[in-house]
Amino acid sequence: MSQLLRRLWGHINPRRRMQFGILFLLMVLASFAEVLSIGAVLPFLGVLTAPEWGFGHPLAQPFIRALDITEPRQLLLPLTIAFSAAALLSGAMRLILLWVQTRLSHAIGADFSIDIFRRTLYQPYAVHVARNSSEVIAAIASKTTVVVYQILWPLLIILSSVMILAAILVALVVIEPVVAVTAFAGFGGIYALVIVLTRKRLARYSQSISQDQDKVFKALQEGLSGIRDVLIDGTQAAYCEYYRSADLPLRRAQANAQIIGNSPRYGIEALGMVLIAALAYSLAGRPTGIAGAIPVLGALALGAQRLLPVLQQTYSSWAAMRSGQQALSDALDLLDQPLPAYADAPLPKPIPFQQGITLNQLAFRYAPKAPWVLRELSFTMPKGSRIGFMGSTGSGKSTLLDIIMGLLHPTEGNLAIDGVAITTQNHRAWQAHIAHVPQAIFLADTTIAENIAFGVPVDQIDFSRVRQAAQKAQIAQAIESWEDQYDTLVGERGIRLSGGQRQRIGIARALYKQADVIVFDEATSALDNDTERAVMEAIENLGEELTVIIVAHRLSTLKNCTQVIELADGRIKRSGTYQEIVGGAA
């Protein structure tokens, strides 16, 4: 745990560290306030039971003279006010401390959640391909919350509790040293024994909670994302069982961890009452009798009343941290994701693109020992050309597109733009030229205009440019026939639009970006023949200045391409014009 906490501290920014310093100062002040409130009860109860004792005490003489007190009973009112003020000050300080602890822990949690999301978005495409998105969603949405409630908040509670415990113990030692030390050692020993007995069990619960949270998010994401197939196939029961098998162990582990964290308090509180009773019996036998014992008993009872909850808070906070340990480790792994050099840099100036895109003996595989996906690819795509790729599933088409778009980098050979090789240092400058239209267009549950100008803040959208893009994509007429036109809400994942409309919005989105290379990755394969012809007509009318790259299963989709390349087993099987390929196929 100590190693995890050191990693955690490394991710806390300087502003939050300064706030930790302010919190530490508040902890010190709250500890002094606790000492003051416990110390004030002794003279208050002493004067309450024996006014003459207080009136004759040497330490009281300066106050007696300052307040012009002439008889013992007059001490009662100022001491009542002083005791009440000390109690109110102690309560106010703890309330302020609670407010600052809560705000700071949640602020740090927000910092972590935002940073994880940011670092995840900046990871290379190969990392995203190899990762289960439900695990990342669980870490951002759930595990950072666990870090707040089971790591940061308990840690701050432990720090403040330790300081308050030390202050209370010092006050009690001054009042009755033997009893105070014995009681603290006894209660502390019981908690230490419980910690030793439950430490491994809490670690198991921590791992179970983390793993089952991932499974819960996976079940939710898969079940709801594929709701059409779930409804058609009638697999609701299977997904419900999968969810139950993840959620039930999660709740059980959380409950067990909570029981372990809260159970010792009841036994400790009972033992505390027994201790006070035994102490009362012992003090009653002193020469001063019960009257002399009452102030000491009152101070010790008040101290115990403050001490026991603080001890329990410290223990339950430790238990919470142990049960959240695995979630913290998972969150820190995502916080440790490196950011690329361009993350904080402004958008780069686009790399010059006047001649064409060239692949030089390009080869690719996803891992050093993985099979080759692409091998010995060499060809040139002139600027303004229409290039079509075809091939069976697994031939390497999608991987090749990812390399052309700068999402993946060649294992061997290179991708060059006007003779300049694309590397990890300049790929963002190349991507400034590119727009992508996939088979499944992602549409946010916002307006048509916001989906066309995807990723642009609403107040920065150029609506005239939105209309121009829609016109070129041949969807403007349909949009402008709707009641709300460009303010029409598309529904979740564009459910209110037809397949052809979604594809043309995808084309309009690419045109809004004003890219000069548009990549269509099987963008029409899920459409019927009539809709495909309409979408391909829209593509044909995009303008000769644009370089268009199309991947398709059907050869007929590529009939207007200037060059068609067929891939097989990661190599170029044949290449030529559409007529040459059709003739060869015949």
- How many C-beta atoms lie closer than 10 Å to residue 442's C-beta? 12
At 586 the pLDDT is 45
- 3-class SS of residue 359: strand
Could you identify the residue written with the tokens 């999608």?
398
The enclosing H or E element of 550 equals: strand 547-551
At 53 the pLDDT is 58
Amino acid at 171: A
At 469 the pLDDT is 85
At 340 the pLDDT is 77
- Candidates 460, 445, 448, 558; CA nearest to 509 is 448
* DSSP 3-state percent helix, strand, coil across the chain (nearest 5): 65, 10, 25
At 283 the pLDDT is 58
Instruction: Identify whether the C-beta of residue 495 lies closer than 8 Å to the C-beta of residue 444.
Output: no
Distance linking the first and last C-alpha atoms of the chain: 69
Could you identify the residue written with the tokens 């238990």?
319
Alpha-helix runs per DSSP H in 441-563: 448-452, 463-472, 476-480, 499-512, 529-540
Dihedral angle computed from the Cα positions of residues 411, 412, 413 and 414, in that order, rounded to the nearest 10 degrees:
10
- Phi, psi at 376, each rounded to 5°: 55, 50
- How many C-beta atoms lie closer than 10 Å to residue 379's C-beta? 15
- 3-class SS of residue 367: coil
- 3-class SS of residue 357: strand
Q: Which distant-in-sequence residues (6+ apart) come within 8 Å of 119 by Cβ?
A: 334, 335, 337, 338, 339
At 183 the pLDDT is 66
Question: CA 73 to CA 205: how far, in whole Å?
Answer: 60
Instruction: Identify whether the C-beta of residue 319 lies closer than 8 Å to the C-beta of residue 260.
Output: yes
Average confidence (pLDDT) per 10 residues, the chain, 586 residues: 80 86 86 75 63 60 67 71 81 84 83 82 76 70 74 79 74 68 69 73 76 76 65 70 80 78 66 65 57 56 64 74 77 81 76 87 86 87 86 82 87 88 86 82 81 83 86 82 82 65 82 83 66 69 78 76 84 82 61
User: Does the pTM of the predicted model rise above 0.75?
Assistant: no
CATH numbers and ranges of domains, the chain:
2-335 (1.20.1560.10), 356-585 (3.40.50.300)
